[in-house]
Structure 1
Amino acid sequence: MAATGKKSVLFVCLGNICRSPIAEGVFRKMATDGGVVDKWMIDSAATSNYEIGNPPDHRGQACMKSHGVPMQHEARKVTNDDFMSFEYILCMDESNLSELNRRAKLVKNISAKIELLGSYDPDKQRIIEDPYNGNAKDFETVYEQCTRCCKAFLENNS
């Protein structure tokens, strides 16, 4: 991303309809509120094909709306170009991490740093559990974790 002069982050989960669009929305709002959004390329994606083209889960949208966080996203899958275009690829759990590391080995000139978003959690909760089979409270937990992690990540990369 040096060519554009922007920093870049891609948030990744299994389907790109729950955790990663929440993280993307939270981070985008923090960067906007901090006056640095124009310095960032921010997106989210999936490791699977399950939800491509779908909007975020309605429970996640309701959670974000209750916190005043805008959420506009259409699910997409991680591409080979993402590994060269993004400075950071931050994922939600060990399964995502394993799949991203497997895919990265197939890409030449990888420049992305692949990490768990939870590695930035000051509360040391490294895994952000998938709320898909849960309820509104589970989406709230994801929102809270993403908020802590994104705040720390942004502070580390300001």
Structure 2
Amino acid sequence: MRHITKTFDSNMATTSMKSVLFVCLGNICRSPIAEAVFRKMATDAGVVDKWRIDSAATSTYEIGNPPDDRGQACMKKHGVSMRHIARQVTKDDFVNFEYILCMDESNLSDLKRKANSVKNCKAKIELLGSYDPEKQLIIRDPYYGSDEDFEKVYQQCVRCCKAFLEANS
């Protein structure tokens, strides 16, 4: 007698889920801040279980590293927990995420170039800043800046993530 093993199709489980991947250059400053802010908003709204939320880098510079200490301090100040290890965007991300939201034009062009080499790319690739009600399209990299620059990134992410969540609820 042969046993038939039924395999679990992970795509079936995620079809009703929404998904967003936040992307910046190194995945240690802007994108993990956006990921943590969005996760907290989705949690507070009671919809976090309906979302797959992650962040990644366009570069390989920081793979395996935790978020920048200044970003972690900023998030702690605002009561937002942040647990992430930097990773690079993969070809699968373009198929498995509904939205890929990035921080600046350089990220956008890198992502669009990578998306062109992916069959069945379904991700909508946009600037996170396109959701900013204050119309600040670019979220500048605070890496070489000060604590105030991280605070500005946090505030921009709060505005953009709030608008993005409202648009997708």
Unaligned runs of 5+ in 2: 1-9
1:6-155 aligned at under 5 Å gives the runs 6-155=17-166
Give the distance between the partners of 1:29 and 1:55, measured in 2 at CA.
19
Give the distance between the partners of 2:93 and 2:11, measured in 1 at CA.
14
DSSP 3-state at the match of 2:53? strand
Give the distance between the partners of 2:68 and 2:33, measured in 1 at CA.
10
Give the distance between the partners of 2:11 and 2:59, measured in 1 at CA.
29
Compute the displacement of 1:2 (Å).
7.0
- TM-score (ref. length: structure 2): 0.92
Q: Number of paired residues?
A: 158
Give the distance between the partners of 1:45 and 1:20, measured in 2 at CA.
7
Report the equivalent of 2:7.
none
Unaligned runs of 5+ in 1: none
Give the distance between the partners of 2:132 and 2:33, measured in 1 at CA.
15
Identity, in percent, stands at 77
Alpha carbon RMSD of aligned pairs, Å? 1.0
DSSP 3-state at the match of 1:115? strand
DSSP 3-state at the match of 1:68? coil
DSSP 3-state at the match of 1:60? helix
